[in-house]
Chains A and B, each alone.
Chain A
Amino acid sequence: MNMLKINLHLRLISAVIGCSMSFIASAELVLVVHPSNDASLDAKAAQRIFLGKESKFSNGNDAIPINQGPDSPNRAAFDTDTLGRSSTQVAAYWSKLVFTGKGIPPKEVGNDAEVIAFVASNKDAVGYVDSASVTAAVKAIPLN
Chain B
Amino acid sequence: MKKLFVLSAVALASFNTQAEVRINGFANLVGGITSSDESLYGYDDTMSFASESVFAVQVSADVNSKMTATGQLVARGKNDYEADFEWAYLTYKATDNVSVSAGRLRLPLFKYSASKDVGYSYHWINAPRAIYDVNFNNLDGIRLDYNNYAGDLEYNLQGAFGTVSNDLNTSVGPARLQVDNLMLLSAEATYNYLKVRASYVTAKASVANDFIDGTIKAAFRDNGLDELANNIAFYDDTATFTGFGIEYDTFNWFVGGEWTQIKIEDSFNPTNTAFYVTAGFRTGKWTPSVTYESFDGNNPFKFLDKVAALPAPFQPTATAVVVGLQQPFADEYSVINLGVRYDLDTNVALKADISKSSNDMNSAEDATLVRFAVNYVF
Q: Which A residues lie at the B interface, using CB under 8 A?
A: 1, 3-6, 11, 15, 48, 53-56, 70, 84-89, 91-92, 95-96, 98-102, 104
Measured in the bound complex, the distance between the Cα atoms of B286 and A15 in whole Å is: 14
- Segment among B40-48, B113-121, B288-296, B350-358 that sits at the interface with chain A: B113-121
With A15-B284, A92-B121, A101-B70: A1-B347 Cβ-Cβ less than 8 Å: yes
Residues facing A in B70-118 (CB within 8 A) are 70, 72, 89, 91, 96, 101, 106, 114-115, 117-118
B26 touches A3 (CB 8 A): no
Instruction: Number of B interface residues at 8 Å Cβ cutoff, please give it.
Output: 35
Does B15 make an interface contact (CB < 8 A)?
no
Distance of A89 Cα from B68 Cα, bound (Å): 26
Q: Using Cβ atoms and an 8 Å threshold, which residues of chain A touch B58?
A: 98-99
Interface residues in B32-64 (C-beta closer than 8 Å to A): 56, 58, 60
How near does chain A come to B28, taking the closest CB pair, in angstroms? 12
Contact B96 A53 (CB under 8 A): no
Q: What are 23 A-B residue pairs whose CB atoms fall within 8 Å in the complex?
A: A1-B347, A4-B346, A5-B345, A6-B345, A86-B251, A86-B282, A88-B285, A89-B251, A92-B120, A92-B121, A95-B115, A95-B121, A95-B377, A96-B114, A96-B115, A98-B24, A99-B26, A99-B115, A99-B117, A99-B377, A100-B115, A101-B68, A104-B22
Distance, CA A55 to CA B22, complexed state (A): 19
Contacting residues, chain B, for A11 (C-beta < 8 A): 284
User: A91, B346: Cβ atoms under 8 Å?
Assistant: yes
CB of A98, distance to nearest CB on chain B (Å): 5
Chain B, interface SS category:
strand
Chain B CB within 10 Å, residue with most, of A56, A100, A104:
A100
**Which B residue's beta carbon lies closest to that of A70?**
B346
Nearest A residue (CB) for B108: A100
Per-residue A-contact encoding for B271-282, CB less than 8 Å = 1, 0 else = 000000000001
Q: Which residues of B contact A70 (CB under 8 A)?
A: 346
Question: What's the Cα separation between A102 and B251 when bound, in Å?
Answer: 22
The distance in angstroms between the C-alpha atoms of A88 and B284, with both chains bound, is 10
Asked if B149 is an interface residue, CB under 8 A from chain A, the answer is yes
